[in-house]
Amino acid sequence: MNFPPRIMPNTRMRRMRHDDFSRRMMRETILTANDFILPVFVHEKSGRTPVECMPGVERLSIDELLKVAEQALELGVPVLDLFGVPNPECKTADGRAAWDENGIIQRAIRALKSRFPELGVMADQALDPYTTHGQDGLPDANGYIQNDETIEAIIKQSLSHADAGADILSPSDMMDGRIGAVREALEENGFIHTRIMSYAAKYASAFYGPFRSAVGSAGNLGKGNKYTYQMDPANSNEALHEVALDIAEGADMVMIKPGMPYLDIIRRVKDEFAVPTYAYQVSGEYAMLQAAIQNGWLDADKVIIESLLAFKRAGADGILTYFALDAAQRLKQQSNV
């Protein structure tokens, strides 16, 4: 093994780390509230119900959602991302409640945009909360999720969200060609300002478990899986191919999901395409951190911000995180000391 020539003591890496002022001078990555997108679960019931396995996360009625939106605005978090929790009796094999103009998400979008027009409102497009089988799309007789038939449903859901006033659509179904199809439908219907953040590289991940309990699709999905449409966690080049397609089809922003176990993908995507790139710190990542925090095994005051900073260092322009309000509050306190 070759060692560099002896250069001590001229080079002392610790000099710059010696004081707070010089640590601040050389800090490369800065996290702010602008970097966060808060995912929220909106249910048909009144009040709030806790999400099991996600301490601190609750399903919200529209009234409660408005209170959370107000907090987000106060803390400078620019966007809320809405996920629907329909009543079980609204679920069907074709998931048609997803594009009901009086559906839970459509009403939530309208309520938010009329009360807080300056707040960015994003909504997820996929059928899983609305289907009796818990899949994101429409199965054929053999249970295979059909691509083109699903896209037709995603278009209807997208248009109903755009019509309700959503600023950003985020198709999460992973059908081939859906970004192009949704973009074309938006243009044809005059929604030229509606942004699309595509779930471009979305992996078939075990880290989504708590989310599926939150929206009530876990029991319906049962032993089913999403391997024929979500990506294999073993693959990296395939992510670049997916992202290239979504950009060509008209995505304004791309997302990599999950987050922390996929930082290598974020870096490759950012280096290759240099487009607005987002990471989703998903429900299972949140659950892991909270479980350790609650046991006293990790220090919340340090680990939450560190976990989010890592995404930016890896190249992300922003992060979807259930910690958004908590982290924004911590950043605000830090800047006040």
Work out whether 160 is an interface residue with ligand PBG (CB under 6 A). no
Integer-rounded Cα Rg, in Å, for the chain is 21
List the structure tokens of 324.
Answer: 């958004």
Question: How far apart are the C-alpha atoms of 156 and 69, rounded to whole Å?
Answer: 26
CB 259 → ligand PBG: shortest distance, Å? 9
Question: Binding pattern to ligand PBG, positions 130-149, x when CB under 6 A?
Answer: ------x-------------
- The tokens for 259 are 């987050």
Distance of CA 190 to the CA centre of its chain: 26
Smallest distance from the beta carbon of 126 to ligand PBG, in angstroms? 4
Give buried/exposed letters for 297-336 (b at 16+ CB in 10 A, else e). Answer: ebebeeebbebbbbbbebbbbbbbbbbbbbbbbbbeeeee
Pairing of strands 58-60, 138-139: unpaired
Please answer whether residues 38 and 65 qualify as being in contact, where contact means their C-beta atoms are separated by less than 8 angstroms. no
Q: According to the binding rule CB under 6 A, does residue 150 interact with ligand PBG?
A: no
Specify which residues 121 forms β-bridges with. 80
CA distances (Å), origin 337, targets 165, 302, 305: 39, 16, 16
Comparing CB distances to ligand PBG, the nearer of 35 and 136 is 136
* Complex with ligand PBG: residue 55 or 332, whichever CB lies closer: 55
Residue of 37, 98, 108, 126 that binds ligand PBG (CB under 6 A): 126
Instruction: Answer for the pair 288, 323: CB distance below 8 angstroms, yes or no.
Output: no
58 is in an annotated binding site: no
Query: For residues 2 and 65, which CB has a smaller minimum distance to ligand PBG in the complex?
Result: 65
283 binds ligand PBG (CB under 6 A): yes
Nearest distance from C-beta of residue 170 to ligand PBG, angstroms: 8
Give the pairing type, strands 120-125 and 79-85: parallel
- Residues annotated as catalytic are 202, 257
Task: Say whether residue 203 binds ligand PBG (CB under 6 A).
Answer: no
Minimum CB–partner distance for residue 54 and ligand PBG (Å): 9
Q: Could you tell me the smallest distance in angstroms from the CB atom of residue 285 to ligand PBG?
A: 8
208 counts as binding ligand PBG under rule CB under 6 A: yes
Q: Is 211 near ligand PBG (CB under 6 A)?
A: yes
Does residue 325 bind ligand PBG (CB under 6 A)? no
Task: State which residue, 208 or 278, has the beta carbon closest to ligand PBG.
Answer: 208
Contact pick of 265, 282, 324, 325 for ligand PBG (by CB under 6 A): 282
Torsion of the alpha carbons at 192, 194, 195 and 200, rounded to the nearest 10:
-100
Cβ atoms within 10 Å of 61's Cβ, excluding its own: 19
Q: How many residues belong to the site for ligand PBG (CB under 6 A)?
A: 11
The binding site for ligand PBG (CB under 6 A) comprises 124, 126, 128, 136, 172, 208, 211-212, 226, 282-283
Query: Which residue positions form the known binding site?
Result: 242
